[in-house]
Amino acid sequence: MGMSGPSREGGMMSEINVTPFVDVMLVLLIIFMVTAPMMTTGVDLDLPRADAPALATDEEQLVLSIDAEGRTFLQDQPFTPEELGAKLRAIAQANPGKPMFVKADGKLPYETVLQALATARSAGMTKVGLVTQPGAAPAGPRP
């Protein structure tokens, strides 16, 4: 068919050229494929392993992270323990019953994780879950 001029009946023949559209879409696809892995930001943690099923959630998750040095982060923002309590209290008042997930480095002492859970509970967070890596925990004591 190729390019055609006016038809014999005197009208103009219109054809949509989709080649530029396809070119733009392929370029956008490549850009998104390259940048998508960089968009997963967060606190670098070595989560403990547990053989438990994953929980399904539909809403945006509230995540409290504690790294190996004991620093606390709420949604990737660092907080001191005093600031954390105030922030969690405000969140609990604005969104009662909002679930919160705690990601703690596997090498942290149990007391550090327990203090974070107590802070969340005293701030009014009623639904708190612990995040682990999928898979069975290794046998024997941890180093």
Q: Let me know if residue 75 belongs to a domain.
A: yes
Q: Let me know if residue 23 belongs to a domain.
A: no
Q: Let me know if residue 7 belongs to a domain.
A: no
The DSSP secondary structure of 76-123, one letter per residue, reads TEEE-HHHHHHHHHHHHHHSTT--EEEEE-TTS-HHHHHHHHHHHHHT
Cα 80 to Cα 63: distance, rounded to the nearest angstrom: 15
- Cα 27 to the center of its chain, rounded Å: 26
Cα 103 to Cα 12: distance, rounded to the nearest angstrom: 65
How many separate domains does the chain show?
Answer: 1
In tens, the pLDDT along 46-66 reads 666 666 566 555 567 788 888
User: What is residue 28's predicted lDDT score, i.e. its pLDDT?
Assistant: 93
The neighbour count for residue 35, using CB atoms within 10 Å, is 9
Q: Let me know if residue 53 belongs to a domain.
A: yes
Angle of the 81-94 helix axis to the 110-122 helix axis, nearest 10: 40
Cα 128 to Cα 101: distance, rounded to the nearest angstrom: 6
Cα 43 to Cα 36: distance, rounded to the nearest angstrom: 17
Q: Let me know if residue 10 belongs to a domain.
A: no
Q: Is 65 helix (H, G, I), strand (E, B) or coil?
A: strand
User: What is residue 10's predicted lDDT score, i.e. its pLDDT?
Assistant: 61
100: enclosing H helix or E strand: strand 100-104
| Structural domain for 120, as ranges | 49-134
Q: Let me know if residue 78 belongs to a domain.
A: yes
Instruction: Please give the DSSP secondary-structure letter assigned to residue 133.
Output: E
Q: Which residues of the chain have pLDDT under 70?
A: 1-11, 38-59, 135-143
User: What is residue 12's predicted lDDT score, i.e. its pLDDT?
Assistant: 77
Q: Tell me the CATH number at 103.
A: 3.30.420.270
CB 99 within 8 A of CB 127: yes
Q: Let me know if residue 106 belongs to a domain.
A: yes
The pTM of this model reads 0.55
User: What is residue 25's predicted lDDT score, i.e. its pLDDT?
Assistant: 94
Q: Let me know if residue 57 belongs to a domain.
A: yes
